Structure 1
Amino acid sequence: MPTLPPEQPRPSASEPHRARTMAESFGADAERYDRARPRYPEALVRRIVAGAPGPDVLDVGCGTGIAARQLRAAGCRVLGVEPDARMADVARRSGVEVDVAAIEAWEPAGRTFDAVTAGQAWHWIDPVAGAAKAAQALRPGGLLAAFWNTFQLPPEVAEALATVYRRVVPDSPFDLRSMAGPVLDPYATVLAKSADGIRQAGGFSEPERWRFDGEWPCTRDAWLDQLPTLGILTGLAPDKLAEVLREAGAAVDALGGSFTMRCATVAVAATRTGTD
């Protein structure tokens, strides 16, 4: 989901990893995040499993363990690394082992893995330092795969959300009408930056991009449950968030109480080269 707004001082759109307040805001309602955020397509999970030389996975920025649980269900052994202890606690309760640390500072301590994954998280990580740490943790032939869910709202829903957001956050630089635009737009810069970071870190094959298209039928309740987990809204005061949710709900009511979003899961992937 699009979760890349800046903070003060505002980093450029290509440097969301510097927006630490935003990056660390999701644990404020970790249970909702785990409940409301969409899962990843099984085709993506299968491709990761097929591309890794073995079952050991390091899931970077694992959050509440959404991707980790899907990988475990596919037969992987998963260790999560997550900087927010609140998110890590939810992941542990679902059986995911988690080290609480930012990946840039995390130490493998002799542990190596067949895949390093990052679901909805790599944009919060320094792209070069993160790729370098992944190279350190991966066995030769291991896979690095960073992936994101993106979506395209119906124009009526995007316009209503943009209108109320401009009213409650008049100084925001973000026009949420872009959520009605092409499904890949919010992450075009992130994908390019991630691939460049892998190249700069070295030790990997040329990065490639994956894409898995689909649709997500969304009820009013599901949409209003997910909205507070988006980075553009996690820092809003309760009264302002309530106003956004009220207007967003009315827009879905006008469509009959539900809508269907076009969505795509996009990934940047590369293979660890070398023999050590």
Structure 2
Amino acid sequence: MSFSTRHLDRARAESFGAAAEDYDRYRPTYPADLMDDLARLRASEVLDVGCGTGKAAAALSARGLSVFGIEPDHRMAQVARRRGIKVETTTFETWNPRGRRFDLLVSADAWHWVNPAEGAGKAARVLVPGGHIARFWSFHVLDGPILEDLGRIYAEHAPGVEVGGARQKSTAGVRDPLSAGDDFVSVAQREYRWSLTLNGDEWIGLISTFSDHHRMDPQSRSVLFAKIRGLIDGRGGTVRTTSGTFLQLARRV
């Protein structure tokens, strides 16, 4: 299933709650530079669509913004509430804003789970004119020849699962789909880069939060993770990633 139609797989979209605590523990926080850039938009009211465990919402709240979250899974929402984030448990498509309007809508690693046609229209309705919508996604690419060995492990033990740490497609020249309509104009597309050094348990903890991994049969997943851990241990005990977050920012006209 392509990225643009992934919202149709509702079982996958709503599966993250089964790993809510691991998601909160192992998913990295978002880049401070990204959060600072969003805070500079001077939004007084922020809507976080698919807020998950509240990582982005908490970072924006710490910068003085008032953030309200929408999250379809009650287990993820519960973790966000522990951070002090106000969350309504629902999907964006079915959420009733009750006349509320926002200056900024953010969606961190979640907008691809929203129906694109319904999501664009609803975003336009809940944003004030001149408000912004920021959608961003993180990626983690493993450095070096370890990817070849991982590819063989996945081919043997998880042939239908995307290799964790595989190289990402370039975001250069990617067109913001919201700019195709009449309600939004693209403002910026940026990448924020960093790197991670993780031991075997930390890497497995991270990939265990990926939906195709945590939906595997438990026995098959256990075998896959054991093979990956053995590979990492045999290569010095750590892996290094080239990581980043890709931002698409548009303004409500």
In the superposition, the TM-score normalised over structure 1's length comes to: 0.85
- From 134, 137, 140, the counterpart of 2:123: 134
Which residue in the other structure is 1:16 paired with?
6
Which residue in the other structure is 1:4 paired with?
none
User: What is the letter of the counterpart of residue 244 of structure 2?
Assistant: A
Check conservation: 2:139, 2:243, Cα contact below 8 A: yes
Q: CA deviation at 1:248?
A: 1.1
Question: How well do the aligned residues superpose, as a CA RMSD in angstroms?
Answer: 2.1
Check conservation: 1:199, 1:207, Cα contact below 8 A: no
Which residue in the other structure is 1:209 paired with?
189
Moved over 3 A (4+): 186-189
Give the SS at the match of 2:139. strand
- From 232, 237, 249, the counterpart of 1:269: 249
Superposed CA offset, 1:218-240 (max 9, x none): 22221121121112201111111
Q: CA deviation at 1:114?
A: 1.3
1:26 aligns with 2:10: no
**1:1-276 equivalent positions in 2, closer than 5 A:** 11-51=1-41, 53-170=42-159, 172=160, 176=163, 179-181=165-167, 184-185=168-169, 192=175, 195-196=176-177, 198-273=178-253
Q: For residues 186 and 250 of structure 1, do their structure 2 counterparts lie closer, same or farther at Cα, with a shift above 3 Å needed?
A: farther
Q: CA deviation at 1:169?
A: 3.1
Which residue in the other structure is 1:5 paired with?
none
Count of matched residue positions in the alignment of Structure 1 and Structure 2? 253
Give the SS at the match of 2:137. strand
Q: CA deviation at 1:94?
A: 1.8
Q: For residues 118 and 91 of structure 1, do their structure 2 counterparts lie closer, same or farther at Cα, with a shift above 3 Å needed?
A: same
Superposed CA offset, 1:14-36 (max 9, x none): 31111111111111121111111
For 2:118 and 2:49, the matched residues in 1 are separated by 13
Unaligned runs of 5+ in 1: 1-10
User: What is the letter of the counterpart of residue 39 of structure 1?
Assistant: T
Check conservation: 2:3, 2:112, Cα contact below 8 A: no
Check conservation: 1:26, 1:231, Cα contact below 8 A: yes
Q: For residues 243 and 50 of structure 1, do their structure 2 counterparts lie closer, same or farther at Cα, with a shift above 3 Å needed?
A: same
Q: CA deviation at 1:13?
A: 4.0
Unaligned runs of 5+ in 2: none
Check conservation: 1:72, 1:78, Cα contact below 8 A: yes
Check conservation: 1:145, 1:268, Cα contact below 8 A: yes
Q: CA deviation at 1:144?
A: 0.3
Q: CA deviation at 1:84?
A: 1.0
In the superposition, the TM-score normalised over structure 2's length comes to: 0.92
Q: CA deviation at 1:65?
A: 0.7
Identity of aligned residues (%): 36
Q: CA deviation at 1:180?
A: 4.1
For 1:125 and 1:93, the matched residues in 2 are separated by 25
Q: For residues 247 and 186 of structure 1, do their structure 2 counterparts lie closer, same or farther at Cα, with a shift above 3 Å needed?
A: farther
For 1:226 and 1:186, the matched residues in 2 are separated by 22
Check conservation: 1:132, 1:201, Cα contact below 8 A: no
Check conservation: 1:199, 1:206, Cα contact below 8 A: yes
